[in-house]
Structure 1
Amino acid sequence: MSVTRCLALAVLLLSGSVAPAAEKMNVLLIVSDDLTNNTLKCYGSELGRSPNIDKLAARGVRFDRAYCQFPLCNPSRSSFLTGLRPDTLRVYENTTQFRQNKPDVQTLPQTFHKAGYFVARVGKMYHYGVPLQIGTDGLDDKPSWEQVINPKGIDRTELDKVFTLEKGQYGATLSWWAAPGADAEHTDAKTADAVIKLMAETKDRPFFLGCGFFRPHTPYVAPKTYFDPIPADKFALPVVPPGHRQAGPAPAFTSAKKDQDAMTDAQRREALQAYYASTTFMDAQVGRVLDALEQLKLADKTIVVFVSDHGYHLGEHGLWQKMSLFENSARVPMVIHDPRAKGNGRACARPVELVDLHPTLAELADLPAPANLDGKSVKPLLDDPAAAWDKPAYTQVLRGGGPKAKVPGFMGRSVRTARYRYTEWDGGKKGTQLFDYDTDPAELTNLVGDAKHADVVKQMKVLLPK
């Protein structure tokens, strides 16, 4: 370098005219467990009370057609925390830790750790058995985190007070409790406490924090004050047409359970009240975390993501919980707020997937992502929610089978475009379904046998992965 150029550079440095290196963006990934869009006001719920998630949605980009890759906790969380589909990981149930099959996977938090970020989780990020594994590591991935915190509250320690449809069962079946006392006694409140403390302790260095709330996963436990605003008798039950389930295909309804079928209408309304109350309680803890982000002056340099691991049935199709390929089970709430995004304050109607989170967050933070990821960055949609986008969303579910099964299971595979969902059970051998959401948002009319939709069936069939 010439003497003249050296002198010029020195002058620029002394004058402060050289632009400083861009500040690294933090990431706060908030995951709710078993949350349906239908209880959130920002997604159109009439009875839902979710002011804090609504506020985040108003500030960021709300994705109206976001989908999980598998409507069960472990396969879904393994998928979006790696950026790999369940078929790539070969994880289809709640017992297999993904590194048993893919030991060298670089997870989403590891991508940030490699870039010098402080990486930690509080609560449920990878799979836990709820409620019995609350307070433990569950099926965690130790290489993903520098620090882990496992809070435990009265929703775990006082299970004897929980009403359940099946004695001794609290997570696999419906159960609930309007608990006396304060928010602070519950696991999700303790989770918010720990996340706030971590943000305060690490505010001077870039961080990736996973904030994993347990609610509204059954047991639907929340302080009684969250139950009181909406009495159980105010809830309308979903209408299921006579013969709907019998019309099949049978695998579409395999997630139905006898104890839930036997519920009285009064119990169904109580369950709805408890689920909504648990959702509002979880929302209050989201608000505490987001308020702390503002108070710590971190909001302008933190990307906030709010998602659920999958959707949830509350009586639609006569089903409760998850494990179906209907919209209520496959669709998830997803809000991304990057303070720099040009599309903030808008909704996006493009189909996106949870598996897109890894490449998206890596790109937003300007970090290299693994080359083998199965998702696609949605950054273009954050800048323009109406941008061209031709990628559909895929969801699958296993029927039967599993590590200990004597008889092989089969897969249901579904593809969702902006207008249609097409599903094949066992490659079509056990049934197919086509729904048009422009005319049938409740998915009550299977159009596969309708000659007018034969071309649509052919087009959708081509989109399904082989």
Structure 2
Amino acid sequence: MSENKQPHVLLLISDQHRASTLSCAGDALVQTPALDSLAEQGVRLENLYCNNPICVPSRMSFMTSRYSHHCEVWDNSDSLHSHIPTFAHAFGLAGYRTVLCGRMHFVGGDQLHGFQERAFGDVCGGYLGTNRAEYRSRGFFGVRESIENAGPGPANDLAYDQGVTANACRIIRDHEETGDPRPLLLVVSWYSPHDPYRAYRKDFERHTADNDSPKIDPRGEKLHPLLTTLRARQDLDSLEDAQLSVARASYRAKVEFLDEQIGRVLEHWRFSSFSENQAVCYLSDHGEMLGDHGLWAKNCFYDPASKVPGIMVFPDEFSSGKTEARPASLVDITATLVDIAGAPPLPASDGQSLRDGLRGEETWPSEVLVEMIPSDGNVSRMIRRGKWKLNWYPQRDHEWELFDLENDPDELEDLSRQPEASQRIQELAPLLRKDEWSPQACQRIRQKQTEGKRYLSQWALATIPQDPTMFGIAAPL
């Protein structure tokens, strides 16, 4: 590649993919040949974290390279302000054709946020009040209901993902055949393996005999209040073990279905001229607890929920077949992609480009920050620095959780109340506040936005505004 020639960039995104549920990450119960092959061509990021383990906040942090409290997207009801630049704007400034094909979970009237084209819509409605339209295709809502309805059978989200794949392949072919001189940024984003835990029978039947069990927290009555609250909210204690096993089997089947979709897109990409000058990246917006700690889905700092798979391929610069163990987060991936494109750095970015570090230099982010800013007021933040993870819950009696991830990778032994932990907490705690982060300030801003969001939601439900980006036929909820 000549020094000034910009690579075509293929960004592959999934929803709720647990970082460990990849065969190249050591999971013997799944087969992910497409992603394994991609990892062999580039670098697999073994400790990549989202910056908020909830769909919309995570995606908007990634789009902007800003933490949730900086882009003011707190939960799935929040819209990203259109005046905040995204990596799509950055690529456009660098001369790219920018295309989004599939899901991004934008909320509100701006369904582009810097993309020049949106080739295939989203699985859910974009307006407040209609953004749960995806659940019409299930007939149920919530984690418990997803588990109760787990198993083989068609689901609209699977058909949606196949549509994403077909349209992505079309874009690759058409961009080459038309001779468009611009470098291409193609973002292909699927819904899988997000619940519902339903999979095509051919995929599901490969996992009916899976023999596995989740990592159950041994603390008993000493459980952190967060675990107690989440377990009560999910209401899973009365479910049979057999139901949970079916849901886990369905999840793995959906991961393999996703891998098949990724493989089809990569096949078209490799047989195009783009592969001669390319950068390819795969990631997810957050993970999936899958029963660990007695929890499902996300909304917590434990690694199964907050860690995501990450693969970066840039043949002219990055080594192939390498595993990078140093922790990083999605805001860093954003900064890296902008760097690779030769675009101006995003203003107010919280991320650091990993480009030099992935080329073998020592430069690397010193820590990872993850936060949750829910409407119930229990604002919290997590830091990962080296082998240590410190979770801070300012409004709870049990304020800290401290884990040594080198010796306790399953996070089953909270060290925060041991005498020797005091010094470690004193070292890490100031870093949680280093960017003037304040739970009180976050909550004040959230409260100011609540009345306006409620008003907009009532408007959307009353008028059912036309939503051209939603997959399928719009209908009243």
TM over 0.5: yes
What CA distance in whole angstroms lies between the structure 1 residues aligned with 2:308 and 2:24?
13
Q: Which stretches of structure 1, 4 residues or longer, exceed 4 Å deviation after superposition?
A: 156-162, 170-173, 427-430
Task: Give 1:27 deviation, angstroms.
Answer: 1.2
The match for 1:118 is: 97
Task: Give 1:427 deviation, angstroms.
Answer: 6.4
What CA distance in whole angstroms lies between the structure 1 residues aligned with 2:194 and 2:227?
22
What CA distance in whole angstroms lies between the structure 2 residues aligned with 1:179 and 1:428?
42
Q: Quick one: which amino acid aligns to residue 201 of structure 2?
A: K
What CA distance in whole angstroms lies between the structure 2 residues aligned with 1:426 and 1:184?
38
SS at match of 1:119: strand
- Call closer, same or farther: CA 1:377–1:111 in 2, change over 3 Å: same
What CA distance in whole angstroms lies between the structure 2 residues aligned with 1:376 and 1:390?
6
Which range is displaced more, 253-262 or 290-299? Answer: 253-262
> 5 Å matches for 1:150-299?
150=120, 168-169=140-141, 173-174=145-146, 175-179=149-153, 186-203=159-176, 204=179, 205-231=182-208, 233-241=209-217, 243-244=219-220, 246-256=221-231, 257-299=233-275
Q: Quick one: which amino acid aligns to residue 407 of structure 2?
A: T
The match for 2:112 is: 142
- Call closer, same or farther: CA 1:224–1:366 in 2, change over 3 Å: same
The match for 2:305 is: 329
What CA distance in whole angstroms lies between the structure 1 residues aligned with 2:280 and 2:310?
11
1:396 maps to which of 355, 362, 371:
371
- Call closer, same or farther: CA 1:446–1:273 in 2, change over 3 Å: same
Contact 2:392 2:401 in 1 (8 A): yes
Task: Give 1:185 deviation, angstroms.
Answer: 7.2
What is the aligned-residue RMSD (CA, Å)?
2.7
Task: Give 1:283 deviation, angstroms.
Answer: 0.5
Q: 1:382-404 CA deviation, whole Å, 9 max, x = no partner?
A: 212x7353511111113443xxx
Task: Give 1:381 deviation, angstroms.
Answer: 2.3
Greater C-alpha Rg: 1
The match for 2:341 is: 365
Q: Quick one: which amino acid aligns to residue 204 of structure 2?
A: F
Task: Give 1:104 deviation, angstroms.
Answer: 1.7
> 5 Å matches for 1:279-358?
279-358=255-334
What CA distance in whole angstroms lies between the structure 2 residues aligned with 1:428 and 1:252?
12
- Call closer, same or farther: CA 1:139–1:312 in 2, change over 3 Å: farther
- Call closer, same or farther: CA 1:147–1:427 in 2, change over 3 Å: same
Q: 1:23-66 CA deviation, whole Å, 9 max, x = no partner?
A: 22111111100110121111111101111111111111111111
What CA distance in whole angstroms lies between the structure 2 residues aligned with 1:124 and 1:364?
23
Task: Give 1:252 deviation, angstroms.
Answer: 4.4
Contact 1:252 1:325 in 2 (8 A): no
The match for 1:132 is: none
TM-score (normalised: structure 1): 0.83
What CA distance in whole angstroms lies between the structure 1 residues aligned with 2:145 and 2:110?
23
SS at match of 1:448: coil
SS at match of 1:451: coil
The match for 1:92 is: 74
**Unaligned runs of at least 5 residues, structure 1:** 1-18, 129-137, 402-408
> 5 Å matches for 1:14-163?
22-99=4-81, 103-127=82-106, 141-150=111-120
1:455 aligns with 2:423: yes
SS at match of 1:104: coil
Contact 2:151 2:204 in 1 (8 A): no
What CA distance in whole angstroms lies between the structure 1 residues aligned with 2:2 and 2:388?
48
- Call closer, same or farther: CA 1:343–1:381 in 2, change over 3 Å: farther
- Call closer, same or farther: CA 1:118–1:177 in 2, change over 3 Å: farther
What CA distance in whole angstroms lies between the structure 2 residues aligned with 1:152 and 1:428?
37
TM-score (normalised: structure 2): 0.81
Q: Quick one: which amino acid aligns to residue 371 of structure 2?
A: Q
Q: Quick one: which amino acid aligns to residue 399 of structure 2?
A: G
What CA distance in whole angstroms lies between the structure 2 residues aligned with 1:195 and 1:437?
38
Contact 2:334 2:351 in 1 (8 A): yes
SS at match of 1:69: coil
What CA distance in whole angstroms lies between the structure 2 residues aligned with 1:437 and 1:158?
36
Asked which structure has the greater RCO (Cα within 8 Å, sep 6+), the reply is: 2
